[in-house]
Structures are given as C-alpha cells and as structure tokens.
Amino acid sequence: MERIKSNGGEHVNPAYDANLDEPPVYQEPNGEHRTVRPSVVSAFGHDTLDRVPNIDFYRNAGSVSGHRAVRPSLQELHDVFQKNGAISVPDTVEDDGEVSSGTPSDDPESAIPSTKGAVKFGWIRGVLVRCMLNIWGVMLFIRVSWIFGQAGWGLGIVIIALSCVVTTVTGLSMSAICTNGVVRGGGAYYLISRSLGPEFGGSIGLIFAFANALAVAMYVVGFAETVVDLLKEFDSIMVDPLNDIRIIGCITVVLLLGISLAGMEWEAKAQIVLLIILLVAIVNVFVGTFIPATESKKSQGFFNYNSKIFLENFTPDFRDGESFFSVFAIFFPAATGILAGANISGDLRDAQAAIPKGTLLAILITGITYLGVALCVSATVVRDATGNITDAITSAMQCNGSVACELGYDFSSCAEERCNYGLMNNFQVMTMVSGFGPLIIAGTFSATLSSALASLVSAPKVFQALCQDNIYTALHFFAKGVGKNNEPIRGYILTFIISVAFILIGNLNTIAPIISNFFLASYALINFSCFHASYAKSPGWRPGYKFYNMWLSLLGALLCCAVMFVINWWAALLTYAIEILLYIYVTVKKPDVNWGSSTQAVTFVSAVSNALSLSGVDDHVKNFRPQILALTGSARTRPALLDLAHSFSKNYGLCLICEVIEGPRSEALNEMNAGMERNQQWLRKSKRQAFYAAVACDHFREGTESLLQASGLGRMKPNTLMIGFKRNWRTAGTEGVQSYVGILHDAFDFEYGTLMLRMDEGLDVSHIVEADDEMLKAEKEQRALDKEMMQNGGKAKGLFRKSRNSSQQVLTTRVSVCGPPPPQVAKMNERLVEASMQFKKKQPKGTIDVWWLFDDGGLTLLLPYILTTRKKWKDCKLRIFIAGQPGQSEKDKQEMKSLLQKFRINCTDINVIDDIHIQPRSESLKKLDDMIEPFRLHEGSKDYAEAEAMKKEHPCKISDEELSSFEEKTNLQVRLNEVLQENSKSANLIIVSMPIARKGSVSDFLYMAWLDILTKDLPPTLLIRGNHKSVLTFYS
C-alpha cells in the first residue's frame, strides 16, 4: 500500500494539482478577503468551499451574541464556478434585529453561555444539596411519627414508597427530557415548554412560579410558628400569637431576600450551612434512639429498641376520621422538592449531567432517610402515653396485656381520654427521642429556612425564563436580569411582595393544598412530556439518558393526577381550571415561537396516518368537498380570488394558493425559495386556512400543468381549479392567450372542476402591494437613520456612517418612484383595492344568482350553497335561473323545485328563462364583432391554398369557417349576457355555467371572446364547469 507522505505537518493529496485548480477568491462585503480555514485545507489537501462539521453551524439564528457560523449553501457549491468571480460566503451571519413586536429578539437556546465571571454550580451544590434540603422539610421532624402511628409502619412504608415512586418516575422523565438537548434557565417551565410547546409551558410556567412564591410564605410561616411556640414556652409573646407570626415571618423573608440579592454564591453558602445543621439534627435522632431511656422519656412512651413495640406498631390504627389516603395526602407534600435543582438550570455548569444525577440521588437519599427515621421511631415509641411517671406499674398491679404494660407502664387511661404523648398524640416525638432536643429545633429551623430560600430563588428564575420568552407580553418587564449571573432582581422583588402579602394572612392551611397541587401539575406535565415525545417518535428525540420508559412516564402522569385529587379534590379542580384558562389564553394569543415541540411531531404523525387511512377509502359523493387549487400568484397578489376560494374550502377542505414563477431557472428558483416561507407566513397571519405552493418553470402553462398533476397527497388532492379571467387577452399576444386557454384545456383533461372569476375592476393588485412595500421599507430606513443620528448627537456612526449617502440616495429614489400617481390612476387603484376586499368582509343583504344552464354533476349548484353556509354570506339568498322551452316554463320550474327539494337545497326563487334562443340585439352583436375583428383571418376572400396556409400559420385566430360553424353558440353567449344584464345586474355574485370549447375545433381567441362577452359589464361573476361527475345526491 502506498503511504501518503506529510509535508510540513500538512497531508499531501496526490490527486491535487495546484497548477490546474487555483483556490477561489472569497470576497467579504467590506472588501476584505476571507482565508479558508486551515482545518479544511489540512483535512482534504486543497482549498475548498466545503466546511468540516462544527457545532457552530447548528446554533439557532438570532443568538444573543448576534453571530452564528454558516456553512456554504447548496447553491454556492452546486452553481457554475467562476475562477475569478467573487463569492461572498461569510463565516458568520449577523441578525438584522428586525423582530416582530411582542416577540423576543434574544434566543436563549442559541446563545453561547457566558461563564466569564458568572457563578456556575456542579451537580452536588447545584442539584443534590438543594433537592435534599427541599425534600427534608419539617415533615421529617414533626409529622413522620404521627403518620407511622396512624398507618402503622406497614402502610407507612407503602406511603413513603408510593411517594418515592411518583417522584422517581418524574425524575426519570425529567432526566430523559433534559438530556435531549441543551438546557437553559427556567427549570420545569423550560422542560415542559420545549417539549409540549408554549401553550402547555406558558400555562404551567406561570402557576409553577406563583406556587414557588406561595411556598416561600408557607415555609416562612412554618418557621415563625415554631419560633412562636418557643416564645410561648418562655412566656415571651410580643403582641399575640397571630401578629407575632406575621412580624417574625416578615423579618425572616427580608433576611432571605437579602441573601438572595447578595448573589447565587452567597445563597449556595447559606444552603450548605443549613444542610450541615439538618444533617446533624438527623444524626441526633438516630443517636438518641440508642441512649438508654430515662424514666421521664419512658412515661412519654420511649423505651429504646424493642421488638414488641415494633410489632405492635405494624398494623394501622386510624383515628379521628383519618384514612390511608388522608394520611398519604398529609405526607406527600414533603416529596415535592425534586425540582429545586432543575429550577436553577441556568446556573448549572452542565445541566444535562447535573439534573439527572443530582435529582435521582437526592430522591434515593431522602427516601432512605425518611424510612430510617420513621422505622427507628416505630421501634422505640408506643402509640399512646400519659407522660406521668406515677403511671409506672408496681409488682402488685395487674398488667392489661399492652406492650407498655409489659415494659412497666400503665397507659390504659389513654383509651378513655386523649393523652398528650406517644406517636399518635405528640408532634414533638423527635425532640423527645433525640440525644439533644434543641438540635431538633435547629433542624426544624434549617428545614423551613432552606426550603423557603430554595423557593425564593426558584420562583424568580422560572418567572424570568417565562418572561424572556414573551409568552405573556404584559410581563416582559420582568425578563431583565442584572449582573454576571443575569439575576432577576425584579422577579425577586415581586416574589418578596407576594410572600409578604400571604405571610400577613398568618394561616396558610387553606392554600397549602393548592401549592401541592400546582407542583403535582408540573410533575404530571413533565411525565406527559416524556411520554408524548417518545410516542411521537420524532427523529429529534434522542435523549442521552436511556433508563426511562414511555409507558412508565404515562403511568407517572396519571399517578400525579390521581394524587392531586387524593390531597384535595377542590384544589385539584381549581388547578385544572386555572391551567385550562391559561392554555386557552396562550393558544388564542399564538406567541411567535417555534421550539420543535412534540405536539408538532404528533400532529405530523396524525396527519400522515389520517392521509394514509383516507387513501384506502374510495371516494363517495356524500363526502365530496371542493379542494381548490387557486392560481393567485403570490398570496397577496389577488386577494379577491383568494378570499372567494377560502370561502369555498374554509377549514373543511383543501385550498392551495399556487404561483408559477417564470424565467431563467436560477433566478426563478431563488425567487421561489425566498417566497415560500414568506407567503405561507402571510396566509397564517391573515387567518387564511390555505397552503402556498410554487413551481419555477420557463413557461406558465408548463408550471400549471405540473401543479395540476402533482399537487396534493393521496385523497387530499385538489379537484377544482380556480383562476382569474384574463382581462388583457386582446393585448397579451398569441402566446399568452394560447397558454391561458391551454390551462383550461389541461384542467378539463385532468378532470378538474374549473372556476373562473371575473370582476370589472380586475383582480391583480401586485403593483399596489409592491409600491406599499417600497414605501414601508423607505420609511423604516429613514426612521433607523434618524434614530442613529439622534443617538450620536447628529453624527452617524458605524453602519450608517458608511452608508449614509447611499441610504439617502435610495430614499430619494424610492420616494420619487413611489410618489403619488396621477389622479386618474389613483382613482382606479382605489376602486381596485376596494373591489379586491369585497369578499373579505361580510356581504350585505342580497342574492347569489345561479344560472345552472348545463348539468355538470352539480358543482354549479353545490358551490353557491356552500357559500350560503358561511357567516359572511349568510344574508345572501340563492336565486336559481334555468333555461326552459317556450310554453313549458311552469313544468320546468316544478321539476327544478322537486330536484332542489331532494337535494335539500333552499332557494328563494326559481326563474325559467324561455327566450334564451332568440337572436341577440344588433348592438350586442356589434360589440362582439368589434372584439374579435383584430383576430379574424378573413380567409373567405382568399383562394383555397392561401386560406389553408393562413390557418396553419395562425391556428389560434378565428377563421370565417369556424365563425360560421359556431355561430349559434357564439350568439348564445351574447344573448346570455343580455339576459344576465336584465335579471342579475344587482346580484352580489353571479354564478354561470361555463361554456366549453372543443379542442381542435374552437380557436383560442374565439373561446376568449365567448368568455369575455358572456361576463362583460356585470357584477362579480364566477363561471363554473364541473367534471361531469356527480357531487350531489339525494340518497341517504
């Protein structure tokens, strides 16, 4: 094998000849040359425009830094290369700052996290410590003993295990989600919104942030109540218990706010101190169980480890109306601290690795701790004790068979009246059991303060992330951060105000269930997010954490919903109601964000599945609906045509807005690619339920033929072509007329129903749209220039300094081009714009006149009926006009009336026209003659050979022979126009059966003359010709 030698550290490509292929010159806009990256040269041995894979190519546009790396486009690599040409392919692109009002200009996903000077935490300090402190709450020291007294340690283990199952499944789901891409600030809100979309994320984000703010108040009040209890013992109440709670609570929350405002580093140090105190208090409980019990402790029910006590406490002993579910509801809020680490995801060094590791380990450690403490207490303390040393049993007394009796104490009086000690009666069992009681009080303080501090930090962080996404525009004020860590100072102040407001209430027992339900709603959506993303099977769902299961996540979501009702049914209903209202609000507002949510993926999967299901079902006349392919050009070019097409399809049928871009392939492709997203976005913003499609082609007819054949998917395929009337056919030239009429022939060949709309004012408003765009662009540039000048004291800097003269020149040119048109043109444009908006607004009371002259399968009748079902057209009544034989008008009318009744189509009037066959007036025929005169061959005066040659040379023109052959049909169109003028001049819309020109027999110009004379000088007229397959049926 031949070795490839290296030269100066560079790989040498033996196939590369530098003399034959000079490197291209890349020109930057400012005239500087960009050198090719050395990595590209060294990798391939020659200069190339291609780039090696790099993470910067995959960052989102609109990054906070303003720059992102760009790879060369496919066109730049594929187009013909000019050796000395200048190709501008910048290494980075810069955002122009043009963002729509109300949408965020910064994209947190795409920003490179700035670590310079910022405090970033690892998985231990950032996640593990915070989660453990939040889960180890006051429940550990005050309620666990009571719970195991009520439920027994058998069901007590079930309660803790069930809680751990819910939190562990949620932790697994959260681990999968946060390892499926970069995680930024926002915690639960970020995870849910990026998975399920802004509707779910926006609704849960707001209530989750609010729940954390309320949790601050709840934990601080818990701390204040403990302090007030101590003050009672020492008879040191300041005012009264309730006001003392308020005073201590407000002072405490001010101190916690000070720690938070000092920065995340100080807050983290405070958490470490609180953790140490809490750990010492927990160890103190275990140590205390081994210290021999004093007589005082024995009288309170503590006897050290004893198997008989352990066995007696195994079975449940529910009292005071408690049950398994009520006891579970009291314990479960202790487990709702697993999001403490995720909530500060923006401050983690590596959130993807830290959140799964820290959260799951915290659940394991705290779960074991709760079980250990509870089982130790269950093995050492009896359920009831009097606390009286005098209740010790002497040798002369009879034992009643209880474990306490066997151990020397008679607590039988507790069966008759309530005692104050024992697992069931004393919430301070942990203090009594421990080796040093004050440490338990310190642990209680630590647990409440650490949880309050974590919530005080979490609420502003989550709220800031929500505000930065600008889902609720009124809250964008709170998006601003301060300092290297982007601290949400405004969010801290708001959280402080909310906390103080609820602390002043002094009693949070009522809102405590709501807080727990808010947290559980977040857990449910995290689990559902994982299930939904897995179910969608999107290629973008590639979590690094593999130890999850989609069905387990769904079970976790259902468990969370069930637990919400177990804790408090009315709080669960209130939570769902608030979330639904917020969901509806965000859905209606439609924030301009796209995070590639699993909701989009599932919608796509459902659409494909439904399309495939439809393809296996044969068409049925009862399910027919018009699927419109409208040749409107650009979405804004022919608004009247678009609005009428949209009225037919609305939300119930397919509507394709199509454009054929003519010209050289390279130019046409660039224009088409640039307009695709812009036109579809305009349709979406203007609430037109339609799709935009475009083809680039050398000839208009070829492009339309491609659209007619290839548009649609399976059964979701257009069946009706809608086109505007070609008003300029007399000046468009032979090729233009041939192309237009050829499209109609193609539509008939492909068995499309065909619709042609004519309005006297015209349909095309492209020149007005272009002028408006130019004026808006000029005004925008002028405002930007004025703003720059004002900011710099009248001196332009930066970009505007370089381009000031050219910019002013452009503005001057645009103003001169877009200046006011002549009065006559302005008036025409005004009428055109007014007419183009005619079908967008609600139609006044009037009629839709349907001239159903030829049976085409019923499309001519079905479409106007559909119009009358739309809100804009509900005040318009149908009038039916049919052709009848002289002397049989009443019979024809009754037959049509019977047919309409069978079709269940109501109309106000049926008119039979029995004089259509008569000769048109001479002045009407004169108009037709004048119309077709420029396009006649007049070969009748020539000899046969010359006449045949003229026909071959001008096949589109009208021969004398053709005019004579189709005289009756030509006169019919003239006569129909006269009848239309007499009967339908005041109609809101006229619908007429479209005449058909037989291929090879009727010339293109004669056919255009038929269409023109038929619809001339009338209100908006729609010519319809179905494909002669039934679209109406009277069978059930």
**28/427: higher pLDDT:** 427
Confidence (pLDDT) at 77: 67
> What CA–CA distance (Å, rounded) separates 760 from 55?
57
Model pTM? 0.71
State the average pLDDT over residues 199-209. Answer: 85
What's the pLDDT score for residue 43?
A: 59
Give the C-alpha separation, 417 to 405, whole Å. Answer: 18
Written as six digits, the tokens of 875 are: 């005040």
CA distances from 751 to 641, 720, 754, 848, 959 (A): 21, 9, 9, 26, 29
Encode pLDDT of 742-774 as tens digits.
Answer: 999 999 999 999 999 999 888 888 888 888 878
Q: Quote the pLDDT of residue 975.
A: 93
pLDDT above 70: residue 23: no
231 pLDDT band, cuts 50/70/90, is: confident
| Confidence (pLDDT) at 81 | 55
Residue 72 in this model has a pLDDT that exceeds 70: yes
Cα–Cα nearest to 857, from 696, 624, 669, 1019: 624
Tokens 């525009």 locate to 473
Q: Which residues contact 896 (CB under 8 A, 6 or more apart)?
A: 880, 882, 910, 912
pLDDT above 60: residue 31: no
Nearest Cα to Cα of residue 910 among 926, 892, 922: 892
The answer, yes or no, to whether residue 937 has pLDDT greater than 50, is yes
Statement: residue 158 has pLDDT above 80 = yes
pLDDT at 75: 61
Question: What is the number of other CB atoms lying within 10 angstroms of the CB of residue 812?
Answer: 11
Of the listed ranges 9-23, 318-332, 826-840, 849-863, the least confidently predicted one is: 9-23
Contact 1009, 971 (CB under 8 A): no
**pLDDT single digits (tens) 880-915:** 999 988 888 889 899 999 999 988 888 889 999 988
Highest mean pLDDT, choosing among 79-88, 405-414, 751-760: 751-760
Look-up: residue for tokens 């930065």? 468
At 634, list the tokens. 């650009």
- As given in the structure block, the two tokens for residue 140 are 């550990």
Helix (H) or strand (E) run with residue 631 in it: strand 628-631
pLDDT confidence of residue 718: 93
Choose from 531-540, 553-562, 608-617, 835-844 the range with maximum mean pLDDT: 553-562
Residue with tokens 């579970």: 328
pLDDT at residue 94 above 50? Answer: no
Answer whether residue 400 shows pLDDT above 70: no
Q: How many CB atoms lie within 10 A of CB 558?
A: 14
Residue 318, judged by CB atoms within 10 A of its CB (0-12, 13-18, 19+), counts as middle
The whole-angstrom separation of Cα 710 and Cα 656 is 12
Strands 25-26 and 86-87: what pairing? parallel
User: What pLDDT does 57 receive?
Assistant: 67
Q: What's the mean pLDDT in 284-295?
A: 88
* pLDDT confidence bin for 481, thresholds 50/70/90: confident
Confidence at residue 5, expressed as pLDDT on a 0 to 100 scale:
38
* pLDDT interval class at 35 (50, 70, 90): very low
Q: Is 94 left (phi over 0), alpha (psi -120 to 50) or beta?
A: beta
pLDDT at 779: 81
Question: Lowest-confidence range among 68-72, 522-526, 813-817, 1017-1021?
Answer: 813-817
d(CA 82, CA 80): 7
Residue 50 class from Cβ within 10 Å (0-12 exposed, 13-18 middle, 19+ buried)? Answer: exposed
- Exposure of 926 by Cβ count < 10 A (0-12 exposed, 13-18 middle, 19+ buried)? exposed
What tokens were used for 114? Answer: 């700035």
| Tokens standing for residue 282 | 């927990």
Q: Which two tokens stand for residue 978?
A: 């006269």
Q: Is pLDDT above 80 for 29?
A: no
Contact 956, 1004 (CB under 8 A): yes
Range with the poorest average pLDDT among 342-351, 441-450, 610-619, 645-654: 342-351
3-class secondary structure for 579-601? HHHHHHHHHHHCCCCCCCCHHHH
Condensed to tens digits (0 to 9), the pLDDT of residues 952-991 reads: 777 778 888 888 889 999 999 999 999 999 999 999 999 9
The more confident residue out of 301 and 745 is 745
* pLDDT (0 to 100) of residue 817: 47
Query: Distance between CA atoms of 178 and 175, rounded to whole angstroms?
Result: 5
Contact 1013, 930 (CB under 8 A): no
Bridge partners of residue 385, in order along the sequence: 421
Average pLDDT over residues 442-468: 86
Tell me, what's the pLDDT at 987?
93
Mean pLDDT of all residues belonging to the chain: 81
- The pLDDT-based confidence of 68 (bands split at 50, 70, 90) is low
How many percent of the chain have pLDDT more than 90? 23
What's the rounded mean pLDDT across residues 598-625?
83
Letter string b/e over residues 867-878, b meaning 16 or more CB atoms within 10 A of that residue's CB: bbeeeebeebbb
Of the given ranges (115-119, 331-335, 453-457, 515-519), which has the lowest mean pLDDT?
A: 115-119
E strands in 48-204: 67-69, 86-87, 92-94
Taking alpha carbons only, the member of 892, 894, 901, 900 closest to residue 858 is 900
| Rg of the chain, C-alpha, whole Å | 41
Which one-letter DSSP state was computed for residue 921?
Answer: P
Distance (Å) of CA 362 to CA 124, 149, 184, 346, 370: 10, 26, 21, 20, 12
Provide the angle, in degrees to the nearest 10, between the axes of the packed helices 512-536 and 144-178. Answer: 30
CB atoms inside a 10 Å sphere around CB 378 = 25
Which residue, 688, 637, 648, is CA-closest to 833? 637
Q: Looking at per-residue confidence, does 443 or 667 come out higher?
A: 443
Lowest mean pLDDT among 86-95, 152-161, 368-377: 86-95
- Where residue 251 falls among pLDDT bands split at 50, 70, 90? very high
Other Cβ atoms within 10 Å of 329 Cβ, number: 19
Q: At residue 99, does pLDDT exceed 80?
A: no
pLDDT at 802 over 90: no
Instruction: Answer whether 108's CB lies under 8 Å from 91's CB.
Output: no
Q: Phi and psi at residue 171, in whole multiples of 5°?
A: -65, -40
Cβ-contact 760, 1017 below 8 angstroms: yes
Say what percent of the chain tops pLDDT 70: 85
pLDDT (0 to 100) of residue 800: 40
